[in-house]
Amino acid sequence: MAVKSNDNRYSLEGRVALVTGAARGIGFGIAQELIHQGARVVITDLSDEALAEAKASLGEACFTYVNDVTQKELHGSLIEQIEAEVGPVDILVNNAGRHGKKPSLECSTEEFAAILDTNLHSIFSLIKAVLPGMMERGHGSIINISSMSALFGLPQVSAYSSSKTALLGLTRTLTAEYSSSGVRFNCIAPGFIESKMFRAIMDADPAREQKILDRTPLRRVGTPQEIGYAAAFLASDASKFITGSCIPVDGGAAIGF
């Protein structure tokens, strides 16, 4: 069958996306690319000021809501408000997260639990708020942002790596249970991504940056927008036979020697 000139399977025109923790960094890069592909994008974050700054850059297709993802009791009302004011959520990108770095024996039970609460429990809660509507409509794409720490061992991130590894298991289980409804579940595992925080750390430790580059076949770090490219693909019909997958977007770092 001939392909129509306007048959763009990568387009997100007419779709509504929710990206958490998107006022800056990877979340912002994802929101930017989803908008570029035609979606209306709701971004959430903790700071109204940061959200206003992001919207000024992202434009009229961006809608902002102050939200703390750990306030799980508010997830239902958040989704109801978004769907009443913007439209039914077709795409959910669970990007908001919490990091923590210290030797495992120095990580308290409370610190460990707090990271799991943000990076796993909150995501499960938000998925439960969005999923019934997606299933009723017969389509949806849920994208969870995992980590390289879920793919191989990194020191001093026991809570963080545990949460991101568990996210892979959650994604696969949801895939097995609900993908027959038309909703797809996938993960992205970002590699080393350029940001103000990353640059400050690398500038203070050039040897570490060189080590990162040496084990990355592309010999560079990535950009938030490059994570956005992968998210836009997973959100689109171009990936409609992909579910239950974890895609590393890391310049080859996961297989680099």
Active site residues: 160
Residue in 210, 212, 207, 201 with CA at minimum distance from that of residue 256: 212
Q: What token pair was written down for 58?
A: 């992202």
CB atoms within 10 A of CB 69: 26
Per-residue 3-state assignment (H helix, E strand, C coil) for 68-101: CCCCHHHHHHHHHHHHHHCCCCCEEEECCCCCCC
| 144 φ, ψ (degrees, to nearest 5) | -105, 130
What b-and-e string marks burial along 151-182, b requiring 16 or more CB atoms within 10 Å of the CB?
A: beeeeebbbbbbbbebbbebbbebbeebeebe
Integer Cα distance of 148 and 158 in angstroms: 13
Contact partners, residue 124, CB within 8 Å, separation at least 6: 170
